[in-house]
């Protein structure tokens, strides 16, 4: 199924944004005004002004009882005029807890529409994009059911399994049957094999989020010999037991290919470093498609290392509850990426966020946001969410035609605090970006990161947990993990200097906040962290390394693998 999008559609949408948003709200209210939920406030009216006046702004927790009732078998019309056909399970790794969002086909149509528009934009900016293939790693995840038998799965799993995905599958190096393989290890191996065999056609490499892409590179480090041997012999390893995978590979793999096998071996073993491995193995790669905005910005240096700095493209801003916007300028640097909201997707309002991160109460429509201001989006969608807080903070950076564009700033609630300082996700990422320079000058690159506030001892202090610097290890050719105490202590100090003035005030000698600590864990520990979250029900495809860890169990996965600890040795200047 394809919706046949082209650039004129985008021009039309972004020019008539006010009218389109009005129509979307009218359509939603026509369908949903009589639901039990809206009837409480509107008494059956579908008047738009009344909707904005009477229907309260809510959080997920406020509507959860209604959602749970539908999940437990009561009729959909408690919240939605159209039947709810599925529930999207959010990854729960950025917000802390998993949620289920009601959805129906409109959600999937929107997703397809958004992705198709992105392809149009990508083709405009990258020559040959349309003619080539994308090696985008996608995985499906466990689907459970609600007590009344409706499916619950991560949104991208349901989308990938749906009829809406078929048109996207065509441009991918991975045959559909392989993407559908329920075993992630077999799926990953087969997707890599397909990508290697079709290396000359690959114009773009990616995964929804970078943590998955890095896991794939680690996987390649372990499996390149076997992959090249399969290519040399024309036979797939016996441990690939999924019959659909074997079937589709037999066509793709074709005859034994010694030349390609030699080339893979040479690239993977011949050099002392894996720098640029992506572009060496897939030489026509024009870009890496993966979201590096928000918390994922921490992966920029390591992705640049592996890809020889081809553009990193954050294509979309979307979530389990709705598709929000697309990046109209895929060549922009990660720190300048903005997402243009698509006004036909849902009805969007915005609540202004003040400097302290609180919301001011003033609510504006999509067309009335002010350039430079910070907002949390409120979502009204076709499947039962009404003026529901999304929990993200965005900043208006400009307009495309009449449609506002937003920079993703941070998740609203994820803050680090050991005393009374609210350190936001953005503060943490800024500090990290400054301190990374210290590592780079010593040939070290961080490959995974998270943090927490340790208040088990007094004074409490910030702990940053970081993955062993693997690429750097290979980079200096020694194959021995060398951690220079002086460099890492300096790294801690620069991080502290870059944190907020309130943090620095609390860090004065004998103050209530102790020296910032960096713990280096064994390489691969962050893959184990991802496996831990996946075992708890998170989806691989939607997995984002949590910037702050709140779960004791998750922390234990990291704590068991600590190789070394470093502390800042001076109070930061005020």
Binding site for ligand AMP (CB under 6 A): 90-91, 94, 291, 293-294, 314, 317-320, 390, 392, 408, 411, 542
CB of 297 to ligand AMP, least distance (A): 9
Is 498 or 541 the residue whose CB approaches ligand AMP more closely? 541
Burial class (CB in 10 A: 0-12, 13-18, 19+), 459: middle
Output the six-digit token pair for 348. 């969007």
Q: Based on CB atoms, which residue is closest to ligand AMP, 195 or 294?
A: 294
Minimum separation from the CB atom of position 253 to ligand AMP (A): 34
Name the residue whose CB lies closest to ligand AMP: 294
Using the minimum distance from each CB to ligand AMP, give the nearer residue, 272 or 333. Answer: 333
Q: How far is the CB of 87 from ligand AMP (least distance, A)?
A: 12
CB of 522 to ligand AMP, least distance (A): 27
Give the nearest distance from C-beta 349 to ligand AMP in angstroms.
Answer: 16
Question: 550 near 452, Cβ under 8 Å?
Answer: yes
Comparing CB distances to ligand AMP, the nearer of 429 and 516 is: 429
How far is Cα 101 from Cα 391, in angstroms, rounded to an integer? 14
**Largest distance between two CA atoms of the chain:** 72
Residue 479 burial (10 A CB sphere; 0-12, 13-18, 19+) = exposed
Q: How far apart are CB 485 and ligand AMP at their closest, in Å?
A: 35
Residue 248 or residue 298: which is nearer to ligand AMP going by CB?
Answer: 298
Would you say the C-alpha torsion 177, 182, 186, 189 has a positive or negative sign?
Answer: positive
Place of tokens 């002086």: 486
CB of 129 to ligand AMP, least distance (A): 20
Beta strand 461-467 pairing with 517-521: parallel
Query: What CA–CA distance (Å, rounded) separates 165 from 46?
Result: 34
173-176: long-range contacts, CB 8 A cutoff, minimum separation 24: 173/133, 173/134, 173/135, 173/198, 173/201, 173/202, 174/135, 174/136, 174/137, 174/138, 175/248, 175/252
C-beta of 293 vs 383, nearer to ligand AMP: 293
- Using alpha carbons only, give the angle 88, 557, 289 rounded to the nearest 5 degrees: 50
The SS3 of residue 520 is strand
Closest distance to ligand AMP from the beta carbon of 542 (Å): 5
Residue number, 515 or 546, with CB nearest to ligand AMP: 546
178/318 with CB nearer ligand AMP: 318
């Amino acid at each position: 199924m394809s919706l046949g999008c082209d650039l004129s559609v985008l021009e039309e949408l972004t020019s008539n944004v006010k009218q389109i948003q009005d129509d979307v709200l009218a359509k939603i209210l026509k369908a949903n005004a009589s639901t039990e939920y809206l009837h409480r406030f509107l008494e059956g009216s579908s008047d738009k002004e009344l909707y904005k006046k009477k229907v309260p702004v809510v959080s997920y927790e406020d509507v959860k009882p209604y959602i749970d009732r539908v999940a437990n078998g009561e009729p959909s019309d408690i919240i939605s005029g159209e039947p709810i056909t599925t529930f999207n399970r959010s990854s729960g790794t950025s917000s802390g807890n998993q949620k289920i969002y009601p959805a129906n086909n409109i959600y999937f149509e929107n997703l397809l529409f958004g992705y198709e528009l992105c392809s149009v934009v990508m083709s405009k900016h990258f020559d040959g994009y349309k003619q080539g293939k994308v090696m985008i790693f996608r995985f499906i995840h466990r689907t459970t059911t609600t007590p009344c038998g409706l499916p619950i799965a991560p949104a991208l799993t349901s989308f990938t399994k749906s009829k809406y995905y078929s048109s996207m599958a065509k441009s991918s190096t991975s045959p559909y049957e392989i993407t559908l393989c329920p075993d992630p290890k077999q799926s990953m191996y087969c997707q890599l094999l397909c990508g290697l065999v079709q290396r000359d056609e690959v114009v773009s490499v990616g995964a929804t989020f970078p943590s998955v892409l890095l896991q794939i590179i680690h996987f390649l480090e372990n499996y390149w010999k076997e992959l090249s041997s399969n290519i040399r012999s024309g036979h797939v390893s016996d441990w690939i037991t999924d019959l659909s995978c074997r079937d589709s590979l037999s066509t793709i793999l074709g005859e034994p290919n010694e030349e390609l096998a030699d080339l893979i071996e040479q690239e993977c073993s011949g050099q002392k470093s894996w720098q640029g491995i992506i572009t060496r193995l897939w030489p026509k790669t024009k870009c890496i498609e993966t979201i590096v905005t928000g918390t994922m910005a921490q992966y920029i240096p390591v992705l640049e290392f592996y890809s020889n700095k081809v553009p990193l493209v954050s294509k979309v801003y979307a979530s389990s509850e709705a598709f929000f916007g697309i990046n109209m300028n895929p060549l922009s640097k990660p720190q300048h990426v903005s997402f243009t909201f698509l006004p036909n997707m849902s009805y969007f309002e915005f609540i202004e966020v003040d400097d302290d991160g609180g919301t001011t109460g003033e609510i504006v429509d999509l067309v009335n946001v002010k350039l430079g201001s910070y907002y949390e989006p409120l979502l009204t969608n076709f499947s039962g969410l009404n003026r529901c807080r999304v929990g993200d903070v965005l900043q208006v950076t400009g307009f495309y035609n009449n449609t506002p564009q937003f920079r993703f700033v941070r998740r609203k609630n994820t803050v680090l605090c050991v005393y009374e300082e609210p350190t936001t996700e953005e503060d943490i990422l800024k500090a990290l970006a400054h301190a990374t320079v210290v590592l780079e000058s010593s040939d070290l690159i961080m490959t995974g990161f998270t943090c927490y506030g340790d208040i088990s001892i007094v004074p409490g202090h910030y702990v940053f947990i970081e993955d062993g610097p693997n690429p750097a290890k290979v980079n200096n050719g020694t194959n021995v993990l060398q951690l220079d105490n002086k460099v890492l202590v300096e790294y801690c100090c620069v991080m502290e200097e870059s944190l907020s003035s309130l943090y620095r005030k609390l860090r004065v000698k004998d103050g209530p906040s102790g020296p910032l600590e960096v713990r280096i864990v064994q390489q691969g520990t962050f893959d184990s962290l991802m496996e831990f979250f996946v075992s708890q029900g998170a989806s691989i495809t939607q997995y984002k390394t949590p910037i702050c860890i709140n779960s004791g169990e998750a922390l234990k996965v990291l704590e068991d693998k600590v190789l070394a600890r470093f502390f800042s040795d001076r109070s930061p200047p005020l």
